[in-house]
Structure 1
């Protein structure tokens, strides 16, 4: 059975990806299966470049086809910030609450609605070919966090057509519409003919 390495140590993300790929005849492994997984520096200028950097670094280290992904929040009024810096918006060692605080401060000087989108790019690399897929969810950002589910900017983001934040939606509800599940479902379709 063919193996694919997912460039993550995040168990939640890994389980979501396994669920999406369950009907492909592959074994999904991750950084959790290795002791010294590479710490890939996200030096790309786009989500796609960062996803490809991760996939290539994994393939180069282990010789196993790999999938890297990168995602973040893109806010219109902030010219696309925090964008590729979403995880480290308030600094390299910042946590979710510091990132959220910085975002709230930044958007408060603008009138509502604060239009935004969550973006995810997932990229597969097998040593020869990159196969890449893109997912996005449009919505708006609010200035009062709501909900304890999810992580990152989830308590501040309300997807279009909903009155709840990602932080208030159940894991299952969020997974149906999330940028990450969208990108990985599209990648799944593209991989069907390739594997």
Structure 2
């Protein structure tokens, strides 16, 4: 089954292809298709945004689509950045801008800075909507570290680790990440649906 992954994010694309390709599933990203449709994330929840992306791309190609919306929720910031994770420091901000804003907002708050990554993944084929949610708990560190990953990975230390996500190899990150949890569960549901 050919499936389009509604993303332009190459880091995310690599992670998810790693999880889903095989078992007769072939995943193509918008980037692979040379399509740079910008989908405005107007939902109030990760689920709403994920479905919005999936439906938008399904309406263009009429083939099954997977999409996700994910982000970081920090306890001491009342769940922020949440659905605004990608653009927390403003429109056209960089990952680095977002990390700096988070660290600035946590400056005067006592450690630990408990947080979790959330990923809401969906599959949509015009008839069926399948969904799965994954979480990764951890803490925000004061000093960014690591060259791997993207987004908030350099300032997030997963529970049970003493390194940031950005210091872990992709293979290791894929074993524990919120996206990995969500897409592994989604893969099982897609394979069941296919019969």
Give the TM-score range, shorter chain.
Answer: over 0.9
* Cα displacement (A) at 1:17: 2.1
What SS is found at the alignment partner of 1:73?
Answer: strand
2:89 paired residue number: 90
Whether the 8 Å contact between 2:145 and 2:167 is mirrored in structure 1 is yes
Normalised to the residue count of structure 2, the TM-score between the two structures is 0.94
Separation (CA, whole Å) in 2 of partners of 1:29 and 1:165: 29
Whether the 8 Å contact between 2:71 and 2:85 is mirrored in structure 1 is yes
2:140 paired residue number: 141
* Cα displacement (A) at 1:152: 1.1
Superimposed CA distance per residue, residues 128-186 of structure 1 (whole angstroms, 9 cap, x where no aligned partner): 12100101100000111121221111111001100111111111111110111111001
2:189 paired residue number: 190
Q: Does 1:77 align with 2:76?
A: yes
* Cα displacement (A) at 1:37: 4.0
Separation (CA, whole Å) in 1 of partners of 2:59 and 2:72: 29
What SS is found at the alignment partner of 1:32?
Answer: coil
Structure 2 gap segments, 5+ residues each: none
* Cα displacement (A) at 1:12: 3.5
Whether the 8 Å contact between 2:15 and 2:170 is mirrored in structure 1 is no
Aligned length: 194
* Cα displacement (A) at 1:47: 0.7
* Cα displacement (A) at 1:18: 2.4
Separation (CA, whole Å) in 1 of partners of 2:162 and 2:177: 15
Whether the 8 Å contact between 1:74 and 1:117 is mirrored in structure 2 is yes
1:119 paired residue number: 118
* Cα displacement (A) at 1:103: 0.3
* Cα displacement (A) at 1:34: 3.0
Q: CA RMSD in A?
A: 1.3
Separation (CA, whole Å) in 2 of partners of 1:97 and 1:14: 20
Separation (CA, whole Å) in 2 of partners of 1:63 and 1:107: 44
